[in-house]
Structure 1
Amino acid sequence: MTFQAYRVSETEQGMTASWQSQEAAQLPAGDVLIDVEYSSINYKDALSASGNKGVTREYPHTPGIDVAGVVADSCDAGFAAGDRVVVFGYDLGMNTAGGFAQQVRVPASWVLRLPESLTTAAAMSWGTAGFTAALSVQKLERNGICPANGPVVVTGATGGVGSVAVALLARLGYEVLAVTGKPEQQSFLQALGASGFLTRDEILAAKGKAMAKPLYQAAVDTVGGDLVSGLIPQIQPEGAVTTCGMIAGIKVEASVFPFILRGVSLLGVDSVEIPREQKQAVLDKAADAWCLPELEQMTTEIGRSQLSEVLDKVLAGQGVGRYRLNLNAE
């Protein structure tokens, strides 16, 4: 039986991509074969689809770092045909054929069980971006951040990670200040729970300063670069900044003063290689204590024919909210 896969190829004229018929025999070795119902679109997917060798080394390749679907076959005793499952992170969609296909085959150690209360569609409204947001909030709270102690800034607030972070922090009772270069999206962010807005220039004004007025309890940074450099001097004593993105740059300049005089923490967030038990715990939390009904309203579902257009939009930084790919829809 054949299935459809979005194959990206490298040619003399550049990168090309198209939906192609494949067979399960063409998939990589693994323990669990999954019939994919939904995937989601992340910045890393757009990089892979554009031929970025820092993400994907060899082409032709099928991107897609997220999968939600049903087990078709398993040689691992922990999973059986019919089980509803999720995969995100590890090497999926990077150098292993990924979720922009109607079937994937992966190691059993990558597979998570989908909680009963969460549909495969809802799981992909979260996707890697949403889970990264949840991991960022979890790190802040484990570092002592709480709603009573002041506002939390979210950079890249209209993007996949940022929009979920805004919604989750607001649900947990935080005052959320959203940073975005898209002022036309302020009503979208207000609907998610943002209580105020900051311009990039307001954050960047503190870049290069050893210390600045401590305005913010914490920050969820999703873009990296100079915005992190500008945030650190403005964080309150015992506050924290999580960082998980690099679209604005991979280098951060900062004085040690905020760290040694205010006890500020800079916390890296990895959603790729963390242990499966930690991923399962976050997935279970998303289905229960951190359930976000509004996530569906901030998710745009697309069919296969719309994927190329959305990938271009995400790569150009024009995406808003979450994008979910229905593998069974044209």
Structure 2
Amino acid sequence: MAIDLVELLGADGARRSADVVEVVGPASVTRWVRHGRLLRPLPGVLVLPSRAGTWRTRAAAATLWTGGRLCGRSALYLSDLVADPGPLVHVAVGPARHVAVARPDWLRVHVGPAPSGPVAQGLPITADVDSLLTAWGHAHARRGTPREVEVARGAVIGACRRKRVAVDHLQEELAARSRLPARRALGHLLEQIARGCQSEFEIWGLTELLDVPGLPPVQLQYALQTAIGTVHLDAVIEEVQLGIELDGAAYHRSPDNWARDRRRDSAVLARGWVTLRIDHARAHRDPPATQEEITRAHWARKATLIARPPQQRAVDGRSSIILPPK
């Protein structure tokens, strides 16, 4: 009877050799390997030749061989915290697992405390905090690349923004990992996130744009109650009711997002606030001119508020709100 190898090896195209032998016997496995119908990329693991070069099959093979869990960027990909897994497969194993044999160049094995975590998309992974720290360490190690650093930073920012991890939890774990590469840089990034930064543009803007000499300090991620609900402004100068929105390079080009921003601006205006929007390209092209624009907006707002009659001013206990005339 003909054996369907695709069905035999399953959806990932990878299975332990011992499990296949148990079904079809050792002679068939030996013959299929000799004829190239099956491959052994790792000891004790069989894969389909047509799938051998795919990331998913390599990831499955790595977990079958090591008995470990996918970690770092590999785990972040499966848990939807990065857009692509990159060219490597990262797997975490406990100290008792001996993996000293030669490994393929696509595989990185991280030895440490016995890993734990959930199953994501059918494969075992480490918990988000551990995955983030492993990705950060690998990206900043000797063989790391600028692209991997960019991905690791984006994953940390995104995980905190989406509340997948708490900033203080990451800070606690970071404090316990004294040998993590670039741990000071990660600590600084977490401090900026804790202040309210939710993107690389906001982090850059905090030091390069928003700290304007002669102006009051800005508040980040300011919550303003409006007719359409709570609007979180990227930054505000509260005393003049000026909101500053940092429009990212891609997000705000979407027609749907553009319409959403206009609706937010109208709701903010109805509360007596105005919004100054700063786009990514203009800010990076000429930071001093952008700071001058913020300065002019601040003083224009200050002059406007001073000119308002006293009966149009009220205090809600948190900020000065300009009420529309009755």
Q: Which has the higher contact order (CA 8 A, sep 6+)?
A: 1
Q: Say which one has the larger Rg.
A: 2
TM-score, normalised with respect to structure 2? 0.27
Higher strand share: 1
Higher helix share: 2
